[in-house]
Each structure stands twice: as C-alpha cells, then as structure tokens.
Amino acid sequence: MPPPVVGAYDRPWADEDLQLALWCCYELHYRGFDDVDKAAQWDLDILAFRAEVERPWLDWLCATYLPANATGQVSRVLRELVDHDDGPALAAYLRRHAKRGRDSLAQSGAVSTVCSG
C-alpha cells in the first residue's frame, strides 16, 4: 500500500491532523501501540511519511523560535542568553523564597548544584 499523501500545511502548529500524525509516528518509537508490531517503527513508508509531515513543523519551529544569530558553540550561546536575562538569579531566589522546595531539592542532591553561588 502506498504511503498517504501529505498536503500543504500553512499553520502546522494548529493543524490537529499533522500533530496527531506526528504523535503517532513518534509513539511508535517511544512506547509503541498494543497490537502493532514493534518493527513498524522502522517501516520505510512510515519513516518517509514522518519525515514529510515533520518538515513543515520543523520549518515553522525554526522560523519562529530560532534566533537569527544561532551560530556558534551551544555553551557560549546559552551563557549569552543567561547573561542578558534581566530576571532574578535562580540561586538567589531559592535562598530567599524556597525553604520547603530547598529541603526537597537538598534531599535529591540538587541544591548543591543549583545554589552554589
């Protein structure tokens, strides 16, 4: 059976059919479905369909959210984003406000990493 024909998607973020089709394709790899052969995740027609449906979604995501200067090392770009953020620092906020949260974070070992400043 030939794979389904994918139409043009002018608003992929709002297209419920596109989102459902992507979810089904991704779910084959994540957990699968009852009564569906596990090998279906590697079916070439399904992979081709997923790539075709995924393209307008990824194009829209990149056009909408990818900064114009998204070149360079990830660590440098992330540091620049943090340095230019004018919000309160997480460590300072936790020291002032998150007593209960700090206790639960301490139990998980995350406080020494988050609040080390």
Q: What is the pLDDT of residues 87-111, one digit of tens each?
A: 777 777 767 776 665 566 566 555 4
| Domain count of the fold of the chain | 2
**58 and 79 both lie in a single domain:** no
**53 and 79 both lie in a single domain:** no
Range list of H helices, 1-117: 16-30, 44-65, 74-84, 90-97, 99-108, 111-114
Contacts of 18 (CB under 8 A, 6+ apart): 9, 12, 53, 56, 57
Q: Which domain holds residue 44?
A: 16-65
Q: Indicate the average pLDDT of the chain.
A: 77
**24 and 57 both lie in a single domain:** yes
Burial class (CB in 10 A: 0-12, 13-18, 19+), 71: exposed
Judge whether 9 and 56 are in contact, CB under 8 Å: yes
Domain presence at residue 25: yes
Domain presence at residue 3: no
Domain presence at residue 4: no
In the structure encoding, which two tokens stand for residue 64, read together? 């909408």
Judge whether 77 and 70 are in contact, CB under 8 Å: yes
pLDDT, one tens digit per residue, over 19-30 is 999 999 999 988
**40 and 81 both lie in a single domain:** no
pTM of the model: 0.52
**55 and 83 both lie in a single domain:** no
**CA of residue 57 relative to chain centroid, distance:** 12
- Alpha-carbon distance of 62 to 29, in angstroms, equals 23
**24 and 60 both lie in a single domain:** yes
Domain presence at residue 10: no
Judge whether 26 and 61 are in contact, CB under 8 Å: no
Domain presence at residue 9: no
